């Protein structure tokens, strides 16, 4: 398979970037998208050119580091699929593919396709945890929590923090990410003690990081590789308003 690639190249955060054309041959349908980029980088090394830098780690759809915009869509054409789990059988011989980094003020470009996601880390640090005594964990069956609540919490906890929701939102909102993290803990007995403090600090940190406001287009849910529901945003808003009332 021969492909024509248009890839964003940018030396650093302070330099001006541009789309650069590449041709690559010998791509098989069994390669992942990142393996295709690996193949291109091997040819660039042989030509003594600077390789294309991109984020990745586990390459198993777990870590959330590999996100890029592919033909204008976060993670590419398939639903509920990370970039590393996207395979080249989704493309045809002779296709032209546009590859860019996630675009958001809070996600500055580091180099090429690499972005800085530390804004997410700051939000988690602000309140995405529970205070619990150390020691032996209690028997799970003794915790009074229903199956439905467990499943809802687990669904929210599935968020891998890739940032696709931010990249696909016209406002660069992080509401789905923050909503998922707040919902995950707010539903559990262990998270209720600090629920009010958590939601206030995390939402305030989200705003201070420069993310935009949610306008309920639901594009974030469509592009989320884990299929996180926008109901998490509704839960976040409920918890936030409740915390404001309780604080008065």
- Do 45 and 145 reside in the same domain of the chain? no
97 beta partners: 5
Q: Which residues contact 89 (CB under 8 A, 6 or more apart)?
A: 29, 30
**pLDDT tens-place string over residues 112-138:** 999 999 999 999 999 998 887 767 777
**Kind of pairing, strands 109-111 and 96-100?**
unpaired
Name the residue among 114, 81, 89 with its Cα closest to residue 99.
114
- Do 239 and 121 reside in the same domain of the chain? yes
Q: What is the mean pLDDT of residues 92-101?
A: 98
**pLDDT tens-place string over residues 178-234:** 999 999 999 998 898 899 999 999 999 999 999 999 999 999 999 999 999 999 999
- Do 92 and 211 reside in the same domain of the chain? no
Residue, of 2 and 143, whose pLDDT is higher: 2
- Do 143 and 81 reside in the same domain of the chain? no
Q: Which residues of 35-50 are buried (b: 16+ CB within 10 A; e: fewer)?
A: bbbeebbeeeeeeeee
- Do 104 and 122 reside in the same domain of the chain? no
Which of 111, 136, 166 is at the close of a domain?
111
pLDDT of residue 165: 97
- Do 149 and 82 reside in the same domain of the chain? no
- Do 241 and 154 reside in the same domain of the chain? yes
- Do 72 and 173 reside in the same domain of the chain? no
Which of 61, 95, 111 is at the close of a domain?
111
- Do 218 and 171 reside in the same domain of the chain? yes
Q: What is the mean pLDDT of residues 39-46?
A: 98
- Residue 142 predicted with pLDDT over 80: no
Which of 111, 137, 171 is at the close of a domain?
111
Q: Is 71 left (phi over 0), alpha (psi -120 to 50) or beta?
A: left
Q: How many domains does the chain have?
A: 2
Q: Which residues contact 38 (CB under 8 A, 6 or more apart)?
A: none
- Do 127 and 236 reside in the same domain of the chain? yes
- 52: containing domain: 3-111
Q: What is the mean pLDDT of residues 143-170?
A: 94
Q: Which residues contact 148 (CB under 8 A, 6 or more apart)?
A: none
**pLDDT tens-place string over residues 4-29:** 999 999 999 999 999 999 999 999 99
Name the residue among 179, 205, 207, 182 with its Cα closest to residue 129.
182
- Do 90 and 140 reside in the same domain of the chain? no
- CATH code for the domain in which residue 88 is found: 3.10.20.30
- CATH code for the domain in which residue 185 is found: 1.10.1060.10
């Amino acid at each position: 398979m021969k492909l024509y690639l248009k890839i964003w190249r940018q030396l650093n955060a302070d330099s001006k970037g541009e789309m650069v054309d590449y041709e690559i041959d010998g791509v098989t349908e069994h390669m992942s998208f990142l393996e295709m980029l690996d193949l291109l980088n091997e040819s660039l090394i042989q030509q003594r050119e600077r390789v294309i830098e991109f984020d990745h780690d586990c390459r198993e759809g777990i870590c959330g580091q590999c996100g890029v915009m592919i033909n204008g869509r976060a993670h590419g054409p398939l639903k509920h699929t990370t970039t590393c789990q996207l395979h080249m059988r989704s493309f045809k011989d002779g296709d032209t593919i546009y590859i860019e980094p996630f675009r958001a003020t809070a996600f500055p470009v580091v180099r090429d396709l690499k972005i800085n996601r530390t804004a997410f880390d700051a939000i988690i640090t602000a309140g995405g945890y529970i205070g619990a005594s150390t020691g032996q964990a209690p028997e799970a069956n003794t915790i009074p929590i229903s199956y439905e609540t467990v499943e809802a919490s687990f669904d929210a906890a599935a968020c891998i923090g890739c940032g696709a929701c931010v990249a696909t939102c016209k406002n660069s909102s992080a509401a789905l990410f923050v909503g998922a993290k707040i919902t995950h803990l707010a539903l559990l007995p262990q998270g209720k003690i600090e629920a009010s403090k958590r939601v206030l600090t995390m939402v305030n940190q989200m705003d201070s990081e420069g993310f935009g406001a949610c306008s309920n287009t639901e594009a974030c849910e469509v592009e989320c590789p884990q299929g996180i529901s926008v109901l998490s945003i509704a839960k976040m808003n409920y918890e936030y308003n409740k915390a404001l009332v309780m604080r008065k």
